[in-house]
């Protein structure tokens, strides 16, 4: 996003590297191309500006529209896009519910025809009854606009519902990467396995392994030696020579470009059973 300057690695947008350019030095096209839907809709809107004015302000920053009338018409169409009545343009944020505020945030993010939208836990602060509607709205807009949606979440049930590819991270390490089908079926990284076990399921026809991670989450400022997950991993004793304690695993390529960062042998990975499965009748 450019809100923080990257300390390492590369971020490319098209063919241009942008990791060294802070947001205040980025050109208008770059800023409008990468937008964000923030986690807490209650903190992201200006309480002293109407909903319509906040969207129009984004259009002004992005250089969209030649006149105030053009920008206002674009703003009203964006309210249509996120399924809010046009009359909401004249409302103040305090007059909106959490779900309605998040829809305004989504409208603002897509105002400049963004190529990439980063959605940082966009429904976690909302009531459960509203979460599905906002998630469906994001997916619908993403499909219509052909936008890349980078969805950040701890809720794997939502991740499975809307993602084509899934990256699982632990203490800043990418521990698993693959298509949704690959990541949600064994073999898993042991952390992915534990995350799947934490997904709440009300359907009694579904069987689920109950996996409890022992120990506390290590400090990201002072991570453990070796594998970042080794202090909590239930498979650790199956790796000979104490390798997990001393060496960070290399990324391994499994069939179909599925990647896992783990010391477990092929035989151990093959023994993994599904965490979630249909119960036998």
Mean pLDDT of 10-37: 90
**Sorting pLDDT into bands at 50, 70 and 90, what band is 248?**
very high
> Is the Cβ–Cβ distance between 112 and 35 less than 8 Å?
yes
pLDDT tens readout for residues 183-238:
999 999 999 999 999 888 777 788 888 888 887 788 888 989 999 999 999 999 99
Pairing type for strands 34-37 and 116-120 reads parallel
State CA 37 to chain mean position distance: 10
The Cα 121–Cα 105 span in angstroms is 13
Q: What is the pTM of this model?
A: 0.86
pLDDT of residue 257: 92
Segments in the chain forming alpha helices (H): 28-33, 51-62, 68-81, 98-109, 128-145, 156-162, 180-183, 190-197, 243-246, 266-270
> Is the Cβ–Cβ distance between 268 and 233 less than 8 Å?
no
Pairing type for strands 34-37 and 12-13 reads unpaired
pLDDT tens readout for residues 135-159:
888 888 888 888 999 999 988 888 9
The residues near 150 (Cβ < 8 Å, ≥ 6 apart) are 116, 117, 118, 119
pLDDT of residue 281: 52
pLDDT tens readout for residues 63-81:
898 999 999 999 999 999 9
The rounded mean pLDDT for the chain is 90
**Sorting pLDDT into bands at 50, 70 and 90, what band is 279?**
low
Q: Reply yes or no on whether the pLDDT at 29 is more than 80.
A: yes
Give strand ranges (E) for 147-224.
148-152, 165-170, 173-179, 206-208
- Return the residue matching tokens 């807490």: 40
Mean pLDDT of 97-121: 91
Q: Which two tokens stand for residue 189?
A: 């990284």
Q: Reply yes or no on whether the pLDDT at 59 is more than 80.
A: yes
Q: Reply yes or no on whether the pLDDT at 174 is more than 90.
A: yes
> Is the Cβ–Cβ distance between 226 and 247 less than 8 Å?
yes
Share of the chain above pLDDT 90, in %: 56
Q: What does DSSP assign to residue 63?
A: T
> Is the Cβ–Cβ distance between 184 and 193 less than 8 Å?
no
Q: Which two tokens stand for residue 70?
A: 């053009």
- Sequence length of the chain is 281
Q: Which two tokens stand for residue 102?
A: 């998040």
Residue 185: Cβ-neighbour burial (10 angstroms; 0-12, 13-18, 19+): middle
Longest CA pairwise span in the chain (Å): 70
Complete domains list, the chain, with CATH:
12-153 (3.40.50.300), 182-278 (no CATH)
**Sorting pLDDT into bands at 50, 70 and 90, what band is 96?**
very high
The Cα 239–Cα 212 span in angstroms is 20
């Amino acid at each position: 996003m450019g809100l923080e300057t990257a300390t390492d690695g590369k971020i490319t947008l098209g063919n241009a590297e942008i990791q060294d350019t802070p947001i205040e030095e980025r050109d208008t096209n770059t800023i409008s191309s990468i937008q964000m839907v923030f986690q807490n809709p209650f903190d992201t809107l200006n309480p002293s500006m109407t909903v319509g004015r906040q969207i129009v302000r984004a259009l002004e920053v992005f250089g969209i529209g030649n006149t105030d009338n053009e920008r206002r018409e674009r703003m009203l169409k964006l309210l249509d896009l996120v399924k809010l009545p046009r009359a909401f343009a004249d409302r103040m944020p305090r007059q909106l519910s959490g779900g309605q505020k998040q829809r305004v945030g989504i409208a603002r993010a897509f105002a400049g025809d963004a190529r990439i939208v980063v959605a940082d836990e966009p429904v976690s602060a909302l009531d459960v009854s509203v979460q599905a509607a906002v998630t469906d709205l994001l997916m619908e807009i993403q499909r219509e606009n052909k936008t890349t949606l980078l969805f950040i979440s701890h809720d794997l049930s939502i991740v499975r519902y809307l993602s084509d590819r899934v990256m699982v991270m632990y203490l800043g390490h990418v521990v698993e990467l693959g298509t949704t089908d690959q990541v949600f079926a064994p073999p898993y990284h042991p952390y992915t396995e534990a995350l799947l076990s934490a997904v709440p399921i009300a359907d009694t026809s579904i069987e689920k392994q109950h996996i409890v991670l022992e120990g506390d989450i290590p400090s990201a400022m002072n991570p453990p030696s070796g594998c970042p997950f080794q202090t909590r991993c239930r498979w650790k004793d199956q790796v000979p020579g104490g390798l997990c304690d001393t060496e960070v695993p290399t990324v391994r390529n499994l069939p179909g470009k599925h990647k896992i960062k783990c010391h477990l042998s092929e035989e151990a990975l093959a023994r993994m059973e599904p965490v979630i499965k249909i119960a036998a009748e």
